[in-house]
Structures are given as structure tokens and as C-alpha cells.
Structure 1
Amino acid sequence: MSPITRRRFNSTCAAAAAVGLASPLLGEDSASSAKPPFAFKYLLGSSLYGYQSLEDIIPEVRKTGATAIDIWPMVHGNQREQLDEMGEAKFAEMLKQADIQLGCITQYKLGPFGLRDEFALASRFGCPTIVSGGAGPKGLTGSELKAAVGQFIEKLKPHLEIAEASGVTLAIENHANNLIESPDSLKWLAEMRPSSALGIAFAPYHLPQQAEELGQLVGDLGESIEVFYAWQHGQGSVKKLPKAEEMEQLPGLGSLDFQPMVQALKKMNFQGWMEIFMHPVPRGVPILEKTSEVTEAVNKSRGYLEGLL
């Protein structure tokens, strides 16, 4: 049973009774005010389109069911650099014309301690999320890992104060060869985070490809997940592969069953970003040659995910 206070229950009943006295269409009114079904809040990553221009990418955002764009810098994309080149006023007008928002800025190269200017930029655009990586020793387990994650968070606190003042959540992605890599490191990050200004960018690609365990982990991390990358390992993204094999990173194309993760997200009423994602080889090229083909591939994976709800 969903949580509800006695006061709220009583006030709801009283309101319903009042409406019943005033109108014979109570059943119709109740149906129209029913809680909408759970739905993902989609975010489109600019790097899927390589180094294509923002003028070409922004019109695709709504076509993918997304309401916001995640802009990436070189080498994965160059849309962050494009923003600087065109100026904030022009970029803001492009967002307005497309009826979308800047939902995320991805900044791995600056690291989690070099984001002061990005926090300010995000604040000016009302952008709620910045993604970066962790920092600290690698390959740790047990108590050593817990201590290192705690030290990382302690060092982050002054930066999180700036993030919070800017209205931004800093989401740390679990990534190979990083302090924040394993399921345990993610659990410690979620448990010890000092505020909602610190979150997780959850990347199944970088974790063991065990569907049930991933679903359990998503449930364990709960509301600490700010960004969910709908992204599986497939055949990997390190060496050049035939295009069909490279595309197996996308949901519905590789062998990973996303249902346990999707159901965990649904159960917790996930309110963060859902970003359908993959890496091409080499970096900086579109995942498919034509812009329309990239958008079509995203929509195909979106259909797969929504079929699991």
C-alpha cells in the first residue's frame, strides 16, 4: 500500500464527498485525476551524433522522446565546445525554439574537482546535472575501499556546496579503472553521500552483465541514481567491430535483459534521467552515418525499454 497520512486521507475523502454533492460526474472526475502511469524522463546524449553540429542535433531531441540534451566535450563529442563558440545567448535560443532544456553537462576531463565554471554555466541554464568520474586509488576492496570512498566524498564536500548553491547534482559514473567502479563502491557512495547534490550516473556497461544482480543493485542504490545509462557491454567499445556487433551496446540489441533494472526503476518511481547510450569506435564519430539513423536506433531501444514497464 502506498504511504499516505491520516490527515491526507481524511482531506481527500472530504474533498471527494464535496465533489459528489456538487456533480453527478464523480466517477468521470476521479478517472480524469488518476495518477499517470510511470514513465521515464529521457535525456539525449550529444555524443551519439559524434561531432555533428548542435543545429543538427537539437531538433532530434524531441524525436527521441527526450525533453533535454546532455552535451559532451571532445573527444566523444564537441558540443560543449560548440556552446562556447556560438555563445550562450544563441544556444539558449536554440533550446527555446526546440522546446527542450539543457539537462546535463558531461565533463570527465575536468574531473570532479575542476567543475566550478561548469556549475556556474549549469546554473545559468537551469541545468540540474553534471556527470564526471570518481578520483582516488583503484582496485581496492573491503574496508580499504570503504575508507577511500569516504575520503573522496570528504574531499568533494566544498565542491558539493558550490553544486548545491548552483542547483546542480554532481553525478559520479561507475567506470573501469576508477575508484568508483564496483557495486560495493557504488553502495558506499550512495550510503555516505552528504546530500542530494551528490548522485550516481549508473552505467551497466562497466559492471558484471548479470541481469538479476544489476536489478538488485539498482534497487539498493535507489534515489541516489541521478542518471541511468541504458547501456550494456555487448561486444565492447574498445576495438573496431562490425557495426552490427558494435551496436549490441544498445538496449534490446545485445544479450543483457534490462527487465530487472527497469522494474527496479519503476518500483522506486525513478525521477532521474534515462539516457540511451553507447560508444562508437573510434570516439567522436556518430554511432551511425546519418542523423536520422542515430535517432531511429535510439527510438528502437526506447521501444524495447518501454515494453518492459
Structure 2
Amino acid sequence: MITRRQLLQHTALTAAAVCAPACGPAVARADDQPAPFRMRHLLASALYGDLPLAEILPEVAATGCDALDVWCKVHGTQREQATTLGDEAFAALLKHHGVRLGCSTKYPGGPTKQQEEMAWVKRHGGSLIVTGSRSVAKGQPEPSGDEAKAVIRHLLDDLAPHLARAAELDVTLALENHTGQILCHPDSLRYFAEFNRSPHLGVSFAPHQLFRWADQIPSLIRDLGAAHLPHVYFQEESPARYRLMAKEIELQQLPGFGGGLDYQPLIQALRDVHFTGWVELFMHPTPRGQPILPTIPEIRAVLAKARSYIDGCVAKTAAR
């Protein structure tokens, strides 16, 4: 017997396929077969700390990425740099380096304070804003069960006018399942998949925030489905996210650096749901706001290693 949740997920996937020409890349070919599985990579400007945009933009092509994700303080300063440059000069800089803006990651303000950012991203050819959901009270656990059901419904109601603006601009708001926020617990993510009706709202899926439920990561991807997954981080949990430790431990946040998370089941799940969104290799330095390594060539090298690992997982899932 098909469950109500499965029926709703099927309906959402069908709606996403219908609106694909307007909302994102097509998910089917003329012969009604799924499009070949390919992940689109964003380069996070935060990996470069406060380095100038002019030095970072050439790295989009150098790292094999498709577009730039511009971050603001405290993680990076490139969004502030773009404001200082002004729209015309920033657009010219992107054009000079042949770079597409794909995303702005902006946690300050949360999901109800992003309408100006939506318009800015749209002006520069982007389509995605990544932010948080809502913080839980200090010392309280993330909501689960019936509480999660209620808070997710309330969040979606509050977002209605902001999603109307996102629809006008044809951009997507992606909420990270961040620790200490209402969209963190697996129950909240599953209720989000059940109740969200907007193709302009989704989850910025962060495996490292799910370390307490790591065994559920593939099933959560399948429960959310491609319709609710515009963005996925490739990052894993590490104690070096919170305190200063040896660089080799800090780098374990990146795929392929010995952190312990097997990405193959995760990528198999993305393949199974016909994922067409953005992915982003990411890690946090300690302290925040500095480059993850001293020089750009060093950063390029570790991203190449992480990308090679991910590409290997993609190849293995294709062989199944």
C-alpha cells in the first residue's frame, strides 16, 4: 500500500519535472529517460577567507567548478567585496574571468530576511540563496516527532510571502539542516518533504550536521527527493570544526581525507532520486574567516583530491 508521504513525494517530483525548464535543469530527455547523472559543483568563496575576489574567480575553472558561491562574514568577505565594488564592477569582474554566479550563502537574517539578496543574486545571473532555518532555544534539543511537525508547518506558513517573491524572481531559497536549528533532526527533514509545496524552497543538505544520524543520510536523501534538494554540501563532521587542531585533522572535513564518512551510499541515493542540484566541497577553518590553507595552489590541490574521491564514488555508482 502506498503511504501518504510516498504519494506526496511522487506528486512533488512530478511537479518539479513539469516546471524544470523554468526552475532548473531538465530531468528528462525527449525519450522520457532520466538525464545522465551529473552533479553541478559550486566553489565556495569562504574556502579562501578574506582573499580578494579577483584572486578567487580564476579558481572556479581551475577547480573544475561550474559556478561561484559567494559568502559573507564571518566565513568570507567576498559578498562584502561585491557590495563595495558595486553591481556594475562586480558584473564586469565576473565577465572578465568567465565566471557564473550560482549562489549566495547568507546566514545573517535567516530565511525571512533574504528578499534583497534574492534580487541581488538574480541581477547577477544566480538562482540560489543558502541560509539557515530558525535556532532553537539555548540548551534545548532540536525538535522531533510531533513538535517537529508543528514547527515545520509554522515555518512554511511564515515563509509564504518570501517564497512568493522567490517565485517572481525565479530563485530558490535553500535552508541548511544546521545543528541547533529546527530543520536539523531527521523528523524535521521528513516533515519538510511532506509539507513543502514550493519549487522555490528546498534543503541545503549538510551530511556533517547529521553525524548523530549518519546511518540515515542515504534514506533522508531518498525521502526528500530531488524536488527538495537544490543543494548538497560535501563535508563531514570533525572536532576541528570547533577548536584549533592539526591541519591534517581539520582537512578531514573534506571528502577523501580520512574522515570516515563513506560517500558512495550518499551519492548512490542522489543518483537514485535523479538529483540535478548543486554540490559544494566544503570545510571550516578554525578560526573562521581565514583561508583553509596558506596559498591558493595549496587550496586547489586539496580540492582536487577531494573532487577525485567524489568522482570515484560517482563512477562506482554508475557501474552498479
| TMscore range, shorter length | 0.7 to 0.9
Counterpart residue number, 1:216: 219
Q: CA deviation at 1:269?
A: 2.3
Aligned with 2:164 (options 161, 166, 174): 161
Query: SS state of the match for residue 96, structure 1?
Result: helix
Aligned with 2:299 (options 294, 297, 301): 294
Determine the C-alpha separation between the residues in 1 that align with 2:290 and 2:266.
Answer: 29
**In the alignment, does 2:196 pair up with 1:193?**
yes
Q: Which runs of 5+ in 2 are unaligned?
A: 1-13, 15-29, 315-320
More deviation, 200-209/172-181? 200-209
Alignment of 1:153-302 (within 5 A): 153-208=156-211, 212-223=215-226, 224-253=228-257, 254-302=259-307
Deviation by residue 1:180-238 (Cα, 9 ceiling, x = unmatched): 11111111112211211111100011112665421121121111111100000033400
**In the alignment, does 2:97 pair up with 1:95?**
no
Aligned with 2:148 (options 136, 145, 157): 145
> What amino acid does structure 1 have at the position aligned with 2:79?
R
Determine the C-alpha separation between the residues in 1 that align with 2:179 and 2:34.
Answer: 40
Determine the C-alpha separation between the residues in 1 that align with 2:64 and 2:34.
Answer: 20
Counterpart residue number, 2:109: 110
Alignment of 1:39-118 (within 5 A): 39-118=38-117
Q: CA deviation at 1:307?
A: 0.2
Counterpart residue number, 2:21: none
Query: SS state of the match for residue 57, structure 2?
Result: helix
- Contact kept, 8 Å, 1:210 with 1:256, in 2: the verdict is no
Determine the C-alpha separation between the residues in 1 that align with 2:249 and 2:135.
Answer: 33
Q: CA deviation at 1:97?
A: 2.4
Determine the C-alpha separation between the residues in 1 that align with 2:216 and 2:114.
Answer: 33
Determine the C-alpha separation between the residues in 1 that align with 2:213 and 2:181.
Answer: 21
Q: CA deviation at 1:36?
A: 7.5
- Corresponding pairs, count: 279
Structure 1 305/299 Cα, relative in aligned 2: closer, same or farther at 3 Å? Answer: same
> What amino acid does structure 1 have at the position aligned with 2:148?
L
Deviation by residue 1:90-127 (Cα, 9 ceiling, x = unmatched): 21122222222110001101211111211111121121
- Contact kept, 8 Å, 1:128 with 1:167, in 2: the verdict is yes
> What amino acid does structure 2 have at the position aligned with 1:192?
F
Runs of 4+ in 1 over 4 A off after TM superposition: 34-37, 209-212
RMSD: 1.9
Q: CA deviation at 1:74?
A: 0.6
Determine the C-alpha separation between the residues in 1 that align with 2:216 and 2:165.
Answer: 35
Query: SS state of the match for residue 313, structure 2?
Result: coil
Structure number with greater Rg is 1
Query: SS state of the match for residue 233, structure 2?
Result: strand
Q: Which runs of 5+ in 1 are unaligned?
A: 4-10, 13-33
